[in-house]
Chains A and B, each alone.
Chain A
Amino acid sequence: MGVELYRIDDRLIHGQVVVGWGQPMRLGFIALVDDDVASSEWEQELYRMGVPPEMDVYFATVEQAATELEKWNADPRPGILLTGDIDTMARLIGRYPDIRTVNIGGLHHREGRGICLRYVYLTPDEQAALRSLQQQGVVVTAQDVPSARPMALEDVLEHGRK
């Protein structure tokens, strides 16, 4: 088992992750990779309190995650690894190239971003970063919940051009 979903989601741990994905996957753990959260006990407690007691939550910086991933992937339980932005996921892949698939779960509107899907907004630089991941052989798809059809990156970006 180990990490079965590498997800970029700017809400980090929230209902879609814990319940929407967590229940059908019978999720055993969540690895939240974020340099700021990893350095704040208060932030960690905030996210930990929303998670059922039977589910473990690990907090790590990118550097720590790159080291811990071998252990997480040897875990017999299924897990999700979360980052809040594309840059963090790209840096992690740079240090742990075994990551071959990335799920875009939620990148919401903010200044400079254009709409691609109702839950995916991207700046031109973010689009380029995702294309770069794809060129490295990482399969990038968008899918907010398990019941939705995963959408290939090319289709996501095509939606953004319409």
Chain B
Amino acid sequence: MSSDAKALVAGHAAFAEGLVSAVAQITGQGEQFVTMTNTAMSADQIEQNMRAVVREHAIHVIFTDLPAGSCTIAARRLLRDDSELTLVTGVNLAALLHFMSHGEITSHEAAVSAAERAKGSVLVVGTPGGR
């Protein structure tokens, strides 16, 4: 993945902005990610905004927060028209950190790897009454 390749992070309210701000705090970098919110937008507006952002920043990977969310629905509409795009839904901080640390692999491969990292980063620690 080239170092200037960008990904879009999209979600409810300030989800994307917050997640990318956490990336920036941890790594000192966050420019690799463009953010958008679905706040106060209809489904059509979300799709139009997403298309514009993807076009403007030559995005190949879209991260969204919730499988049922309107950003995910919009992203899947974009994927229908653009076979170069990859969507990862259910994104978390571990996924973004992993995505941006990848070397020279394709955006799609980096997205797949980030999704695996996201799944593996959700842990349950402790049991009631236990130690």
- Cα A10 to Cα B69 in complex, Å, equals 13
Select the stretch in B38-46, B94-102, B111-119 that faces chain A.
B38-46
- Cα A119 to Cα B45 in complex, Å, equals 13
Among B44, B66, B68, chain A packs the most CB atoms within 10 A around the CB of B68
Across-interface contacts of A47 in B (CB, < 8 A): 73
Asked if residues A50 and B69 are in contact (CB atoms below 8 Å), the reply is yes
Q: Closest approach, in angstroms, between the C-beta of B16 and any C-beta of chain A?
A: 14
Asked if residues A11 and B43 are in contact (CB atoms below 8 Å), the reply is yes
Q: Closest approach, in angstroms, between the C-beta of A40 and any C-beta of chain B?
A: 12
- A1-47 residues at the B interface, CB under 8 angstroms: 10-15, 17-19, 42, 46-47
Does B72 belong to the interface (CB within 8 Å)?
yes
Task: Say which residue of B42, B76, B77 sits within 8 Å of A11 (CB atoms).
Answer: B42
Asked if residues B77 and A46 are in contact (CB atoms below 8 Å), the reply is yes
Q: How many residues of chain A have a CB within 8 Å of chain B?
A: 23
Q: Closest approach, in angstroms, between the C-beta of B59 and any C-beta of chain A?
A: 20
Asked if residues A10 and B40 are in contact (CB atoms below 8 Å), the reply is no
Binding site for A on B (CB under 8 A): 12, 40-46, 65-70, 72-73, 76-77, 80
Binding site for B on A (CB under 8 A): 10-15, 17-19, 42, 46-47, 49-51, 84, 106-110, 118-119
The 6 A-B pairs of least Cβ separation, nearest first, read A50-B68, A108-B42, A18-B68, A14-B70, A15-B69, A10-B42
Listed by A's residue number, 9 A-B pairs whose Cβ atoms lie within 8 Å are A13-B73, A14-B43, A14-B73, A17-B68, A18-B68, A19-B68, A108-B42, A108-B45, A110-B44
| Sample of 17 more A-B contacts, CB < 8 Å, known A10-B43, A106-B42 | A11-B70, A12-B43, A13-B68, A14-B43, A14-B69, A14-B70, A15-B65, A15-B68, A15-B69, A18-B68, A46-B73, A46-B77, A49-B67, A49-B76, A50-B68, A108-B42, A108-B45
